[in-house]
Structure 1
Amino acid sequence: MIYLDYQATTPVAPEVAAAMRPWIEDKFANPHSPSRWGREAAATIDVARQQVAGAIGLPGGSLAFTGSATEALNWAIKGTLERAGPERRRIVTLGTEHAAVLDSCAWLEGQGVEVTYLPVGSDGLVELETLRAAVDGQTALVAAMLVNNEIGVIQPVEEIARIAHAAGAMMLCDAVQALGRVDIPAGPDLVAVSAHKIHGPKGIGALWMRDCAEPAPLIHGGGQEQGLRSGTLSPALCVGFGEAARLARDSAQDDAAHVAGLWNAALKSLGPEWAINGSVDRRYQGNLNIRREGLDSARLLSDLRDICMSLGSACASGSGRPSHVLRAIGLSDRDARASIRLGFGRYTTEAELVDAIGRIDEAARAQERFAA
């Protein structure tokens, strides 16, 4: 099996599994208990909290663990609107955001909140002047993803935050695909991240909050996380996230160099029949979203079951609908259905990637021969 679906999830690092094991097998105490074992678990969680915050790399602020990045994004959006007051009942976001953002915004629209969904260009980037015109004194929050999960495009988050702040609005950055891969720029008031995108465990995310930017609680029932988020924390998951964040920070340069080499090898292996979706220059290179005229991408996945790749966001897989991100950059439904996403990273070898692309290309040619 060749695994090329790093945007959906990443392999758990061996160091992460080893760090988690004692907290699964022996150190099972509730970290919110006053017992000695409970205090030990709580202290370990605090270390993990510092490791994740350190990997985010923004000064000050606080970090709360959540059950997922989806929870973190829901909390950031809904809690910020609750804090904002009646004079600020608008959200500005991009049409290419993750479903966790778009669906949260849609829910708030049902509560009377006005939401503006900004378009992007064919490169997947938002036009800053369009954004500036959309953000006004009634805007409570501007939400933008740093690295797009489907096409890898990197939005100008620092400039977006500056525009939001000039109008007195808050700025939320979905940095799930960015953490450990690209630097998170200064500016955001809220940053959502996830462990399983950086070789950590599934089932845990986090929300970094600038001082005085904390959203109103979304989950009630104990306030275990700084009085802002309720629920018993898993020491094992927190430790795993912390270790994954430490590894991501320590190996950032090596990982980036490895991914750049894989990107170059992939481009050399692709023939002229393939086109890259989204900006080639302003993107994370571990995300290669490509299309080929007339390709039946669903059939391609069926023909190559021993190559793990995807048609877009894992959260939208099985919906039968063309990718909203690909449609937003101007692709027809036909072109969107002729696209695949290859994701690679720390544990991908060049030989695996080149072999997979060769087999993908041959399967695509076989489709063309059959169609003729």
Structure 2
Amino acid sequence: MIYLDYNATTPVDERVLNEMLPYFSQQFGNAASAHPFGFDAKKAVDIAREKIAQKLHCEAQEIIFTSGATESINLAIKGVFEMYVEKGNHIITVATEHKAVLDTCRKIEKQGAQITYLPVDKYGLVNIEALRKAIRPTTILIAVMYANNETGVIQPIKKIGEIAKENNIIFFSDATQAIGKIEMNVKEDYIDLLCFSGHKIYAPKGIGGLYISRKNPRVALAEQINGGGHQRGWRSGTLNVPSIVALGKAIDLFSKDEDIRIKNLRDKLETELLQIEGTSLNGDKIKRLVNVSNISFANINGKMLIADLTKKIAISTGSACSAASVEPSHVLEAMAVDEQLSKNSIRFSLGRWTTEQEINFTIDFVKETITNLKITTHFK
């Protein structure tokens, strides 16, 4: 079985695993305890914070740890809405955001929030002028994903940050897919809140974080988990020290050389598959992550294609699939991709352990599978 679904989750890197293991049974202290066991645990947490802060170009005190990106998103959006409700109740986001953002926005709409869902063009990019026009006197937050999980498309984050800064609006970016894959600087991009998750970058599931700006502006959030006042009151609960250590190690392993290798493999796969009649690329070809290729296959039964391919290759579709139905992806729908093509889309996402042999096999297997399906359909 070949794994080409790294955007869904990643295996834990052995170097990450080795770094975290001692904190399960040897250095097992509670980071809030006032004795040597606790001091050792707190030191490990502080080191991890520092590593993450260096990658984001922020202060270590501006990083808090959560159970993952979904919790961070809830804290960021609900936290801003509840804290700044006297200033305004309007939030701007994008139609192609992850469901964690969209569902959170729909939740607070029921509580009085007004949400503007900006459209995107056929490449998945938001229109900057449309963003400007959407701003109201009551706008308190702009929430735009750094890189899309389905297409890999990277938004013009710095331009959006500049607009937010000019209008004294808090800017939140979901960087779950971007962190550990591209270099980012929250200060230069005027990002005030940014979330990330460990299991996308070779750390365990169940650990993530949120960057919260301490100055220019100093962001205040209404806490969503109460009890104990941990992490300066932003997020109470005993710290998951082993996974925090793992997250710090994982983000420290980011390598430009690795990106180049993955991009070359992605480009080879994409070039070959786009030679198949009726195929098309979804998303901007240039402004995207180096490991993702979202391709639609025309004139074929998408459900049968996925069923056959996943016998040997772990991939994802650009749609939500179930045994009963195939619903088009909300991301591709927002990009005005034809509904049938949307149902026939596949996301190939490569990673650290993808090999050229696996890519060669995938190319041959996809071509063979499509040929067989067309022959079968023709005789029916």
TM over 0.5: yes
Cα displacement (A) at 1:297: 3.2
3-state SS in 2 of match to 1:199: coil
Equivalent residue for 2:335, pick from 329, 341, 353: 329
2: CA distance between counterparts of 1:77 and 1:91?
9
Asked if 1:255 is matched to 2:258, the reply is yes
Between 293-302 and 319-328, the greater mean CA deviation after superposition? 293-302
Q: State the Cα distance separating 1:44 from its structure 2 match.
A: 0.5
SS at match of 1:187: coil
Alpha-carbon distance, 1:369 to partner: 1.4
Match of 1:132 in 2: 132
Shift of 1:40: 0.7
**Which of the residues 286, 294, 299 maps onto 2:299?**
294
Match of 2:250?
244
Which amino acid counterpart does residue 34 of structure 2 have in structure 1?
A: P
Q: Which runs of 5+ in 1 are unaligned?
A: none
Cα 1:276–1:61 shift into 2, 3 Å: farther
Residues 55 and 183 in structure 2, CA contact (< 8 A), matched pair in contact too: no
By how many angstroms is 1:207 displaced? 0.2
Deviations 1:234-293 (Å, cap 9, x if unpaired)? Answer: 111001101001112xx2x11221122112211332224221101111111201000110
| Whole-angstrom CA distance in 2 between matches of 1:215 and 1:161 | 19
Q: Could you state the TM-score of these two structures normalised by the residue count of structure 1? A: 0.95
**Distance in structure 2 (CA, Å) of the matches to 1:317 and 1:12:** 27
Which residue type is aligned with residue 89 of structure 2?
A: R
Partner of 1:172: 172
Aligned residue pairs, count:
367
CA displacement 1:28-60 (0-9 Å, x = unmatched): 222211121111111101111111222223467
Counterpart Cα distance in 2 of 1:60 and 1:51: 8
For residue 170 of structure 2, what is the amino acid of its counterpart? M
Q: Could you say what secondary structure the match of 2:38 adopts? A: helix
Q: Give me the whole-angstrom Cα distance separating, in 2, the residues matched to 1:52 and 1:214.
A: 21
Q: Secondary structure at the match of 2:101?
A: helix
2:191 corresponds to 1:188: yes
- Cα pair 1:61 1:210 within 8 Å, conserved: no
Q: CA offset at residue 299 of structure 1?
A: 2.2
Question: Which residue in the other structure is 2:283 paired with?
Answer: 278
Amino acid across the alignment from 1:94: V
* 8 Å CA contact retained: 1:60, 1:210: no
Residue pairs, 1:1-372, within 5 angstroms = 1-58=1-58, 62-185=62-185, 186-211=189-214, 212-248=218-254, 251=255, 253-270=256-273, 271-273=275-277, 274-304=279-309, 305-312=311-318, 318=322, 320-372=326-378
Instruction: Tell me if the contact between 1:137 and 1:167 (Cα under 8 Å) persists in the aligned partners.
Output: no
Are the counterparts in 2 of residues 258 and 345 from structure 1 also a CA contact under 8 Å? no
User: Quick one: structure 1 residues 59 and 296, their matched pair in 2 at CA, closer, same or farther if it must change by over 3 Å?
Assistant: farther
In the alignment, the residues of structure 1 paired with residue 240 and residue 60 of structure 2 have an alpha-carbon distance, to the nearest angstrom, of 25
Q: Aligned partners of 1:282, 1:172: CA distance in 2, in Å?
A: 20
CA contact (8 A) 1:136 1:167 kept: no
Cα distance in 1, alignment partners of residues 221 and 252 from structure 2: 27
SS in 2 for 1:226: helix
Distance 1:76 1:208, change over 3 A: same
Q: Give the CA deviation at 1:16.
A: 0.4
- Tell me the secondary structure at the aligned position of residue 238 of structure 2: coil
Q: How far does residue 127 in structure 1 lie from its aligned partner after superposition?
A: 0.7
Q: Deviations over 1:59-118 (max 9, x none)?
A: 676000000100001100010111213231000000000011000000010001000000
| Counterpart code for 1:10 | T
1:226 Cα deviation after fit:
1.8
Gaps of 5+ in 2: none
Q: CA deviation at 1:322?
A: 1.4
Q: What SS is found at the alignment partner of 1:43?
A: helix
Q: Could you tell me how far 1:296 is from its partner in structure 2? A: 2.9
- In 2 relative to 1, CA 27–58 (structure 1 residues): closer, same or farther, beyond 3 Å? closer
| Residue-by-residue CA offset, 1:272-321 (whole Å, 9 max, x unaligned) | 422110111111120100011033333223213221100137xx554842
> Which amino acid counterpart does residue 243 of structure 1 have in structure 2?
K
Helix, strand or coil for the counterpart of 2:327?
Answer: coil
CA distance in 1 between counterparts of 2:318 and 2:245 reads: 30
Are the counterparts in 2 of residues 269 and 354 from structure 1 also a CA contact under 8 Å?
no
What's the RMSD between the two structures over aligned residues? 1.6
Question: For 1:102 and 1:294, how far apart are their aligned partners in 2?
Answer: 32
What percentage of aligned pairs have identical amino acids? 39
Question: Secondary structure of the equivalent of 2:253?
Answer: helix
